[in-house]
Structure 1
Amino acid sequence: MSDEILFAEDIEEEIGEDHGTWKVLIVDDEPEVHAVTKLALSDFVFQEKRLEFISAYNGKQAKQLFLEHNDIAVVLLDVVMETDDAGLKVADFVRNEAMNNFTRIILRTGQPGQAPERDVIINYDINDYKSKTELTAQKLFTVVIAALRSYRDITVIEENRIGLEKIISASADLFSIHSLEHFIDGIVQQLASLLGGSKDCAYLTSAVACPRPIENIDSSQLFVFTGKGEYQHREGERLEEVISGKQLESCQKALQNKSLVYEDEYLVAYCKSKSMRGSLLYMSGLPRKLTKIDKRLVEIFAQNVQIAFDNVLLNKDIEDTQREIIERIGQALEYHFGEGKHILRVVKMCELLGSKIGLSEDEIKMLGLAVPLHDIGKFKIPEVILNKADKLSDSERKVVQNHAEFGYLVLKNSKRPLIRTAALIARDHHEYWNGKGYPRGKYGEEIHIFCRITALVDAYDALRHSRNYKEAWPLEKVVENIKQQKGLQFDPSLVDVLLENIDAIEQIIADNPDPLVE
């Protein structure tokens, strides 16, 4: 006989997919009941999921376990334990204190006379009532199967309800977004809520909608519109340049079939569009395997994404049109009055101060769009007075001051909030903090914050640049003058903010110099 030791060949054990478990809580003061119940249901399988048993031996333990586990599918609950109604108190706790309406409660009692079935069924929100003597192994199996089916259906309904709420919330949030910069943030945030998060995300659409339009290409191609994670800063690049391999094939399949393509680590959702070939929403690094409900929610969400995207583009086009019209009017004013890039600088300075004092994004946008019209009333001033290098007479000064009220009259009857805001700024940007300005002698916070910001910025830029009646002042002299007028002409808190950000203000001036006069 050979002394050589021979080992049997290792056979790799096939590991089945984990489908999870159904949690079953056994509440009974008799340990034998726990053992028998577990034995009777030891080979129980429902929808490829086995049972996970949890034990409690009195009412107090049972209540604590319900607080610790929010996914108990079935509780087999003894009525008589430390007290004659301990089980009934647990049932009441589950429904009315723990607010758990999903767990199926099956009461088991060895003393039916202590808690008559009719009274218990009427007075307590339980799902079944059984005497221990009648619960054979087969009947126990049947009761648990029925309870699990009920629990499954209720949880599916609840998941759909929660999903519907999330879709409604996501849609509302997306449709409230009017900024292309915030669009992808909104998508990622809402999908994170739906799916539990992801690492990378890209929104791919036709080149005509890219933030960096690409000329002379096939408009049927898809390009990265915007992205997060790995796809951040890849705007304008072709789909084939940023996604490859099986992921690219999935993208092409989703686009061709106009469908959702899902793998363990990523998904591609087709977004239907009336105006374009269609778009794709690509996400990778998914935190978990998606359920059928998840996939359905993503499909619904993808359609809302495209509608929201079209909405963003439409709003952007409207805002860009408004901005261009007003900027062109401002440029006409600059050209007519020989003020170089004064209005452009004033807009940028106003937006800077607005952000520093905590104005909302919508307020800053409104201010930036309206402020180019602040001096539109100057068209009323005769050029001989406007270009006069000598000191103005009292009557001439009165004519100049009338430009504020005239600008207001030109704009005030509009129904558009933007134009009405411009009218207010045109009228009140010469009001003083101490009430000695014009045209109406307003003072302090009675003057709208937009007007106070414009007044300070307008004066600062005018002092820093030459006019036909004055030379440009050096920075030190301008700062000294602004400090002297703090609390008199200008809002003192705004003066502090301007001086705290003087480097940024001066950078705006450096970046936007007046053109050289030939």
Structure 2
Amino acid sequence: MSDFILNLVDDEEEDEITNSQLWKVAIVDDEASVHDVTKLALSNTTIQGKKLEFISAYSGEEGFTLLQNNPDCAVVLLDVVMESSDAGLLLAQRIRSELKQTNLQIILRTGQPGYAPEEDIISKYEINDYKTKSELTRDKLFTSLATAIRSFSHLEALESSKEGLRNVINASANLMKERSIHEFASGVLQQINALFNLSAQGIFCVSQRPFKGPHEFKSSTTNSFLVVAATPEYNDIYGKDIHDISSGIAANIAQRALADKKHVLEANFTALYLSTPSKWQGVVVIEGGLNLSEVDEELLKVFCLNIAVGLENAKYFSHLNRSAYYDKLTDLYNREGLVQFSAGINTQADQSVSLYIIDIDYFHDITDSLGYEFSNDVLLAMTSTLKRIFNEKASIARLHSDVFAVLVADSTWTLNNLIAECSRPFMLAGNSMRLGVSLGESHSEAKQENLDIELLLRQAKMALKVAKESKRGMAQAFEPQFEKDTLSRRNILAEFRNALVQEELFLVLQPKTSMSSGDVVGYEALVRWQHPDKGIIPPNAFIPIVEQAGLYFELDMYVFRHSLNIIKNYPQINKPISVNVSANSLHHNEFIDELKAIIKEEQADLTNIELEITENALIRSDMAIQHLNALKDLGFTLCLDDFGAGYSSLAYLVKLPLDVIKIDRAFISYITEDKRSLVLLKGMLQICHDLNKKVVVEGVETQEQVDLLTQYDVDVAQGFFYFKPMSIEDILKKAL
């Protein structure tokens, strides 16, 4: 989209007004002498400051063609009887019905004394006057013409007033269009002429500040006043800044009105100064003086006030129109602007069009630690970087937050070089700063009939997602497999939602074993998916997708409810069942209330239910700590899962209401190979025992691991060495 100022400029030219200083009078009569006498009698006659121009026709058919070719004719002197006895009346009918010349004044003339059309004919054909030729002396003919011309001019002024009002109304109804201010201003020029019975040339200027709307009311002293509407005589200054025009009375008087902030009323020119409540200014300049009476002066004040209000509305809507396509902070395109104007880049390209989506890594950390004002400066710095990197064959947009997009014609950048260039250090607040970015790229062949910008955006976002998940700080070009993977994830999510409703998910239990006695002392509930068509879908095929989609809360509640059902329906399983609670669930506002509702519905005994909380769930907010305390108050046994693999903090063991510490399988895997891991394990076990915390180690798979863990008094082990996850039927069959 072009700049806001340019949006106000329209290149269309209006048709030039011809014979503006003459009244056209048509004589339609089959007697040539009547033409000659009429012209002779009224030669050099002036009516309302304009001379008369006579045009002639000698039959009804000729008259129709003559008036058809002269739509600005004011009066027609029309003979009734010509090629037929009613030729004049038929022409009058055609003037009104076919030519639609409702303002044209028709004066019927007849050479037959005593003949007069009936009243219904005069009314039907809108005859304005009727005279016999014998009574039309020079004085009476002048009187008839003067009266007719006065009526014509009033009707034309009224028509012009209607047209001016129509333009203003249309501008109000279409203010979201780019030319709304131009249309509004053009309507104002017409309206002034109509109100004060003028046919004057003129211009309309309006200030261009504030550019971005209400927050820039306190604009700088530098301003520009663009000519946004002009009559044909002033087309040469249309679209220019009035202060850049060094010659011409209209420009000079406009500058005076703006400098003095008041109307300038002179004999040959009038300048009307406009000021809106929001400090926009404008000036209307027309040729000629208004010669205002007191009533007219009051009318002018009201009129100017209405113009100012209308101008402000137009400016606001133009601001909204710009806001629809531009980002407020950076003045780059927003997403809609990039989509709207992408075709321009496509036409510039010879070979290809590339779209880069650039995401600033860990931008939320900048905002959290240094505040929004500093993060805005970072975004502006990135804007400057992108403008430096890319030439005029590129459109740059800020899609949202810290994500930018660049649409480039015939890009020569390699992804590695572009990443390096975007990550170059820059100065901010006197300090050198370097931003890490991740980048996704898609491209299309040039000169396609319609560039599918939405497809490019979708593909570049897929590539960016891969870059952020697998190699943050790097760039990734789109590959067709990404779309297949995305479609697969989308299908899995859709099927998963249905699986929750249809209860296709079921639980298996992995026993926990006492390392001292070898007895089963509890279970961990693990979810499985029995798809009606695809069979068993393994957890790693859907759980990561579910978690990314934010559906883990629904899954956790599903597992919790079905764990309660197992305890209720299978009293033989009388050992505690551990249910995993994800970080998403622990931070969910309705987590505690939802648990309480399920417990009430199932009328469950919580004696044999334990909750396993993943360690990374504890680092995100105070809400997690509050929910842990609430869970403890409800009577749950709480287990800290995956201890040793994440953000381990011994403070958790002291401050949190934890009953069980579960050491992660990744940590246990190395205790037989790495002495340092064994030393750490011994230390953790000692601390947990001293704090009266029960310890569970998971991932126990070898006899060697069992022997080592037994030496250090580990309470409970879980792993394939003892049991794999088992169905309810198998557990009951083996009486575990």
Interval containing the TM-score (normalised by the shorter chain) = 0.5 to 0.7
| Structure whose residues are more often strand by fraction | 2
Asked if 1:456 corresponds to 2:487, the answer is no
Question: Could you say which residue in structure 1 is the equivalent of 2:224?
Answer: 224
1:316-331 matches, within 5 Å, as none
Task: Name the CA distance, whole Å, in 2 between partners of 1:53 and 1:256.
Answer: 47
Q: Kindly indicate which of the two structures has a greater share of residues assigned to helix.
A: 1
The alignment partner of 1:223 has SS state of: coil
Q: 1:331 to 1:57 in 2, by over 3 A?
A: same
2:40 is matched with 39
8 Å CA contact retained: 2:180, 2:318: no
Cα 1:258–1:168, aligned 2, differ >3 Å: closer, same or farther?
A: farther
- Using the size of structure 1 for normalisation, the TM-score is 0.52
Alignment of 1:234-253 (within 5 A): 242=244, 247=251, 250-253=254-257
Partner of 2:181: 187
Question: Alpha carbon RMSD of aligned pairs, Å?
Answer: 5.5
Deviation track 1:164-183 (CA, whole Å, cap 9, x = no partner) reads 11122223333x36xxxx4x
- Residue in structure 2 matched with residue 157 of structure 1 by the alignment: 158
User: Are residues 332 and 307 of structure 1, via their aligned partners in 2, closer, same or farther at CA, if it must alter by over 3 Å?
Assistant: farther
Cα distance in 2 for partners of 1:130, 1:66 equals: 21
Distance 1:488 1:76, change over 3 A: farther
Secondary structure in 2 aligned to 1:53?
strand
Q: Give, in angstroms, the shift of residue 488 of structure 1.
A: 8.3
Higher relative contact order (CA 8 A, sep 6+): 1
Measure the CA separation in 1 of the matches of 2:26 and 2:454.
Answer: 68
Partner of 2:260: 256
Distance 2:481 2:310 in 1: 55
Post-superposition offset of 1:487:
9.2
CA distance in 2, matches of 1:309, 1:282: 16
The whole-number CA distance in structure 2 between the counterparts of 1:156 and 1:63 is 25
Q: Equivalent residue of 2:55, what SS? A: strand
- DSSP-derived class of the 2:164 partner: helix
Residue 311 of structure 2, aligned match among 305, 313, 317: 305
Q: Distance in 2 between matches of 1:44 and 1:201?
A: 36
1:34-87 residue CA offsets vs partner (Å, 9 max, x unmatched): 111111111321111111001110000001111111111111111111001000
Q: How many Å apart are 1:231 and its aligned residue?
A: 9.6
Distance 1:231 1:129 in 2: 47
Q: What is the one-letter code of the residue matched to 1:144?
A: L
Question: CA–CA distance in 1 between the matches of 2:140 and 2:239?
Answer: 59
Give, in angstroms, the shift of residue 456 of structure 1: 2.9
Q: Is 2:273–2:282's contact at 8 Å kept on the other side of the alignment?
A: yes
Distance 1:230 1:149 in 2: 34
Higher Rg:
2
Q: Distance in 2 between matches of 1:141 and 1:69?
A: 22
Q: TM-score, normalized by length of structure 2?
A: 0.38
Measured at CA, do residues 112 and 90 of structure 1 come closer, stay the same or move farther in structure 2, by a change above 3 Å? farther
1:113-512 alignment, distance < 5 Å: 116-118=117-119, 120-174=121-175, 176=176, 182=178, 185-192=179-186, 203-204=206-207, 209-210=210-211, 221=221, 223-224=223-224, 242=244, 247=251, 250-259=254-263, 270-276=273-279, 278-281=280-283, 301-310=307-316, 312=318, 334-335=363-364, 368=399, 455-463=458-466, 465=467, 467-468=469-470, 472=474, 475=477, 478-479=478-479, 481=481
Q: Could you say which residue in structure 2 is the equivalent of 1:497?
A: none
SS in 1 for 2:77: strand
- Does 1:54 pair with 2:58? no
Residue 110 of structure 1 corresponds to which residue in structure 2?
Answer: 111
- Give the counterpart letter for 1:258 in structure 2: K
Letter in 1 for 2:112: Q
Report the alpha carbon displacement of residue 110 of structure 1 after superposing the two structures with TM.
Answer: 1.3
1:97 maps to 2:84: no
| Structure 1 unmatched ranges of 5 or more | 1-17, 349-355, 357-364, 373-448, 491-518
Residues 226 and 43 (structure 1 numbering): CA distance in 2 closer, same or farther, change over 3 Å?
Answer: closer
Please report how far the alpha carbon of residue 290 of structure 1 lies from its aligned counterpart in structure 2 after TM superposition.
Answer: 7.4
Structure 2: how far apart are the matches of 1:481 and 1:138? 95
Instruction: Tell whether 2:87 aligns with 1:83.
Output: no
**C-alpha separation in 2, matches of 1:205 and 1:96:** 47
C-alpha separation in 1, matches of 2:181 and 2:227: 10
Contact 1:79 1:88 in 2 (8 A): yes
Name the CA distance, whole Å, in 1 between partners of 2:157 and 2:124: 27
Counterparts in 2 of 1:484 and 1:233: CA distance versus 1, 3 Å: farther
For residues 250 and 291 of structure 1, do their structure 2 counterparts lie closer, same or farther at Cα, with a shift above 3 Å needed?
closer
Return the letter of the residue paired with 1:305. Answer: L
Tell me the amino acid that sits aligned with residue 52 of structure 1. E
Q: Does the aligned pair in 2 maintain the 1:40–1:137 contact within 8 Å?
A: yes
Distance (Å, rounded) in 1 between the aligned partners of 2:239 and 2:134: 66
Paired residues, number = 348
SS at match of 2:131: strand
Matched, 1:24 2:25: yes
Alpha-carbon contact 1:167-1:301 (below 8 Å) kept: no
**1:137 offset after TM fit, Å?**
1.9
Aligned amino acid, residue 314 of structure 2: A
Q: Is the 8 A contact 2:172 2:180 kept in 1?
A: no
- What's the offset of the Cα at 1:133? 1.8
**Structure 1 pair 489/67, CA: closer, same or farther in 2 (3 Å)?**
farther
Report if the CA contact (8 A) 2:164-2:187 is conserved: no
Q: Secondary structure at the match of 1:42?
A: coil
Q: Alpha-carbon deviations, 1:171-210, whole Å to 9, x = none?
A: 3333x36xxxx4xx543354456659x999864366xx35
2:227, 2:205 → 1: CA distance? Answer: 4
Partner SS state of residue 54, structure 1: strand
Unaligned stretches of 5+ residues in structure 2: 1-18, 191-200, 229-235, 293-298, 336-358, 368-377, 387-393, 404-451, 491-736
Q: Distance in 1 between matches of 2:130 and 2:481?
A: 88
Give the letter for the 1:103 counterpart.
L
Please give the per-residue CA displacement for 1:245-279, whole angstroms capped at 9, x wherever unaligned.
77466424345243367998x98653312243x52
Shift of 1:145: 1.5
Contact 1:253 1:261 in 2 (8 A): no
Quote the residue 1:513 is aligned against: none
Tell me by how many angstroms 1:306 deviates.
2.9
* Secondary structure at the counterpart of residue 72 of structure 1: coil
Once the two structures are overlaid, the 10-residue window that deviates more, 478-487 or 125-134, is 478-487
